[in-house]
Structure formats: structure tokens, C-alpha cells
Amino acid sequence: MQILPVILAGGTGSRLWPLSREQYPKQFLRLLPAHASKPPTASNASLSMLQQTIQRLSDLDHAAPLVVCQEAHRFLAAEQLRTCHQGDCRIVLEPHGRNTAPAVALSALLAQSDTGVIVHESDDPLLLVLAADHHIVDDPAFVQAIEQAIPLAASGQLVTFGITPQSPETGYGYIKRGAPSGSGYAVDQFVEKPDLPTAREYLVSGDYFWNSGMFLFRASVYLQALSLFRPDILAACQASIASPRLDHHFIRIDEQAFAQCPSESIDYAVMEKTPSAVMVPMDAGWCDLGAWSALWAQSGKDVSGNVLIGDVLTAQTQNCYLRSDGRLVATVGLSDVVVIETKDAVLVAAKEHVQDVKDIVTRLREAQRPEFDLHREVYRPWGKYDQVDVGPRHQVKHITVNPGEKLSLQMHHHRAEHWVVVCGTAQVTVGDKTWLLSENESTYIPIGVVHALENPGKIPLEIIEVQSGSYLGEDDIVRFEDRYGRQ
């Protein structure tokens, strides 16, 4: 029976701030190499967490994966799938985050629909539900556990994968195994995150496994269980995909209908209620990269127990996670500390308190600070820009346009722009004129004039853009034409 992988890529990863942010969360970041024998670098961590999740499926017989993500991340997901040769994947766009139970319900309904928005061989495939931000060291063991679970799922069981615990972890929920059931075990109990003494008891008993949040079941079986235990979720999801729309690789659903859907996890909505839940053990070096301490634990270290990434110097420093994305970071006399440097923010935290980084993110959100939402370097479907400098009436950006890509035909009410080409060739439209600009050439776009920028060449186009005016916000854009479907 063919497997339809469902990759859930809708989280925000707030505990990995300042690297993970609302508009560029951790599942799209290159955090660890697939086999973390040494710290991640530009060369050995070439794949994002999403891409590694897709790559992990290569030894399984499966249909093109279905990726579920937020509308704001659609171009990130599409580009990362394209670069790892997964252009046939479909991407379900969630207008609102509603947790895992609705996300999987959408996937199951689409898998059974006759609309043709996704292509697979079976009318009732096995859904392999995976999170896009899990790290797994032993891919063959991962595949073996899934193959072990296939007969159970095919017979109508709802399979969850329990991770063989390696330590008394207090950051994970647990599954208590019951009596043997085929190639797995009946689920005796789902347990919330325990305190340390209880976690130690779980480890000694041998009957408790970490709850991985990975599942395997027939689409129809999951929908039947949802109709029994949470018919309100099922009804909202059915209404939202009554007329799904395929927009390139994106599957768009009804925003208003989905807004009425309750938010709930698969565990609470179905798995903790159904008598058909079974667990298959998995011992594959699994880790949920939810905090900086987890990244430290999974990374290779120097003789002092430090993980050093980027331009970092240390003296009398032990057991630290130190990461620089640009500037020199130097530490003296530190132990068990996390230091993360990005272009616009620095985090310094005791390793034992990294779970509380989310409190900083909450305060940034409440203060409406841009560091909550965006990096200084912002990715767009045509390339990226780096906000080099900003003042009351000016802003300087380093813009990179990928070969063959084009910014929208647009105008601004409040700002003028100067463009200077520093690398590549630009095709520039200003008003009713279009011409080419080469390196060291420039042009000026007055306020209110329609303009566009395109890279007709074979190498990335780089320009310096200097904006000046009374208002410089990104919402001062009137688009007349856009190949990426943005309004």
C-alpha cells in the first residue's frame, strides 16, 4: 500500500529566537547536518530541516509528499522543495494556524477527494505524518520502524511512534506501552511532560517512550475517528476544502470556513481517545530541536564541550553553544551559556533557561518590534534584501535578484528610490521606458512613478537601493503586476 507523506511545516520555533522568527521559522533553517558528528557549517549543513525531512523518505515507496504550511511561508517552502528536486510536491496553505489535528484532517480529506489537486495511486492511502523540524540521525532505523508499522496501519490501527528514551527528558511527553499488538504495542497511556524524578522513574521502568508526534494511518480511519471524537473539527475542514483551488503548487482552501475550525492537536483530538491507538518503538537518534540546549546536545563539540559556529574565540569557556552569523563573538570564563549573534540581535542565555526564550519573543511581539517578525535579511520569491541602514527619512538596502526573476511592477506614494548596480545586469522599467543597466550604472525613480526590476542574466543581480521620503514602510507598495500572485 502506497504511503502519502504529510509534512507539517506550520510552526514558528520561538524558542530558537533570534535565528528562528515568525517570517523565517526553524523548519526552513539549516541548523544541523543530517548526521551531526560535528557542528553545522556552510558546507555540511546544506539542507534545511524541511529538506532533511523530505530526503529521509528516499528509501520508502511513497507518493509525492504533501506539505502543510502557513500562507506567509509559501514561497520559502516552494523554493526549498524546488532546490531539493521535489517540484511535484503539493503545498496546502493554512490561512490560520489551527494545530495538528485540522492540518492532518485537511490532508486526509484532500487524499480522498476526486478534485485532482493531488496525485496518488490509492483512494485511501496511508498517511505518514511527520513534523518538518525533527532531527533524526539513523535514517535506516527510521525507515525500518515505518515499515514495521505498515501492517498495523493497513489493518485499521492508528499508529504513533514512540522514541526509545536515552535520558530522563522533561521536555517531552511520554507514551506508556501496553500489551503487544502485532509488530507494536497497544497504547496504555499518554503522559504529559513529567518532572525530573518522574522522568527518571519512566526511564528505569522501560515501559515509557518519548512521544514523537509522528503517525501512520489510513486517511479514512483518521477521518472516522475525528468524526467520532471531534466532529466540529471535521465539519470545519470539510467546509474549507469544498472547492479547493490549485494555484501553481499551492492548494488554497476557504479562509472563512477554516477560521471557524477549533485548534487542537492530534493527541488530544484523537489519539488519547481512540481504542485503536498502537505504538511502534523507534530508536533512530530522534530529537525535537525545540531549544538551543537541544542543538548543543546534538552537535559535535571541541575538547571543552563547546559548539562553535562562525567567527568565535573562547578562553576558559566550557559547555557553551556559541554562534555568530557575522561579527566576532569572544567569550571569557563562561560555562553552560548560549550566545547567538545575528545581524540585528544578540541572545545571551543560561543553557538551563533556554526554554524561556519564548518569553522574550512574547515581549517583542507585544512591543511590535520588527525583531519578532523578520531578520534584517528578508527573503522574497524573487531573491532577498538586506536592510543595511535606516534613518528617519532614508533607508539603504542590498537587494539580490535571482537569475530570471522579477520584482512586481509597482509604485510608491511616499518614497523615491536610487538604484546602483554592483553585480550582474538589471532590466529596469521606469514609467514607459525599459532599458538595461550594467555594473556601476544607476537610475532614479521619483515618487509616484511606476517601475520594475528584473534580472535577465545568468548570475545573481545585486543592487544598492537608497530610499528617501516621508514614509518608508513595506506597505507603501501599489502592485500593478506580479508573477508570484501577491496583491
Q: Give the model confidence (pLDDT) of 362-394 as tens digits.
A: 999 999 998 998 888 888 889 999 999 999 999
Q: Following DSSP, what letter does each residue of 159-198 receive, concatenated?
A: EEEEEPPSS--SSS-EEEEEEEETTEEEEEEEEPPPPHHH
Cell of 117: 489537486
Tell whether domain 377-481 is in CATH 2.60.120.10: yes
pLDDT score for 230: 96
d(CA 177, CA 185): 6
Cell of 91: 503545498
d(CA 102, CA 43): 37
Whether 224 has a pLDDT exceeding 90, the answer reads yes
Contact residues for 248 (Cβ-Cβ < 8 A; gap 6+)? 78, 485
pLDDT score for 71: 86
Whether 113 has a pLDDT exceeding 90, the answer reads no
Q: Domain boundaries in the chain? A: 3-288, 301-358, 377-481
Q: Over pLDDT 70: what percentage of the chain?
A: 95
pLDDT score for 36: 45
Average pLDDT over residues 470-480: 92
Amino acid at 235: A
Contact residues for 307 (Cβ-Cβ < 8 A; gap 6+)? 39, 295, 296, 299, 300, 301, 320, 321, 322, 323
pLDDT score for 27: 93
Most confident of 38-42, 179-183, 344-348: 344-348
- Please identify which residue in the block is written with the cell numbers 543595511: 388
Whether 53 has a pLDDT exceeding 70, the answer reads yes
- Please identify which residue in the block is written with the cell numbers 474549507: 240
Quickly state the pLDDT bin for 402 (edges 50, 70, 90).
very high
pLDDT score for 457: 95
pLDDT score for 12: 80
Average pLDDT over residues 460-468: 97
Task: Indicate the SS3 state at residue 379.
Answer: strand
Note the pLDDT tens digit of each residue in 120-174. Answer: 667 789 999 999 999 999 999 999 999 999 999 999 999 999 999 988 988 889 9
Do 377-481 and 3-288 fall under one CATH topology?
no
DSSP 285: -
Quickly state the pLDDT bin for 409 (edges 50, 70, 90).
very high
Contact residues for 24 (Cβ-Cβ < 8 A; gap 6+)? 76, 374, 375, 379
- Whether the CB-CB separation of 194 and 145 falls below 8 Å is answered with no
- Whether the CB-CB separation of 376 and 342 falls below 8 Å is answered with yes
Length of the chain: 487
Q: In what order do the strands lie in the sheet with 394-401?
A: 377-380, 383-390, 394-401, 461-469, 415-423, 442-445
Task: Indicate the SS3 state at residue 356.
Answer: helix
Quickly state the pLDDT bin for 38 (edges 50, 70, 90).
very low
Of 445, 383, 384, residue with least CA distance to 410: 445
- Whether the CB-CB separation of 273 and 101 falls below 8 Å is answered with no
d(CA 354, CA 17): 10
* Environment class of 329 (CB within 10 Å of its CB; exposed 0-12, middle 13-18, buried 19+): buried
Please measure the distance between the N-terminal and C-terminal CA atoms of the chain and give it in whole angstroms: 42
Cell of 94: 493554512
Q: Over pLDDT 90: what percentage of the chain?
A: 73
Average pLDDT over residues 36-46: 45
What is the β-pairing status of strands 426-430 and 451-454? antiparallel
Note the pLDDT tens digit of each residue in 249-308. Answer: 789 999 999 999 999 999 999 999 999 999 999 999 998 888 999 999 989 999 999 999
Question: C-alpha dihedral over 402, 408, 413, 417, to 10 degrees?
Answer: 30
Average pLDDT over residues 22-38: 76
Q: What is the 3-state secondary structure (H, E, C) of 44-99?
A: CCCCCHHHHHHHCCCCCCECCCEEEEEHHHHHHHHHHHHHCCCCCCEEEEECCCCC
d(CA 269, CA 322): 40
pLDDT score for 472: 92
Fold category of 3-288 in CATH:
Spore Coat Polysaccharide Biosynthesis Protein SpsA; Chain A (3.90.550)
Q: Computed over its alpha carbons, how large is the radius of gyration of the chain? A: 24
pLDDT score for 34: 53
pLDDT score for 37: 41
pLDDT score for 467: 96
Task: Indicate the SS3 state at residue 82.
Answer: helix
Contact residues for 433 (Cβ-Cβ < 8 A; gap 6+)? none
- Whether the CB-CB separation of 68 and 98 falls below 8 Å is answered with no
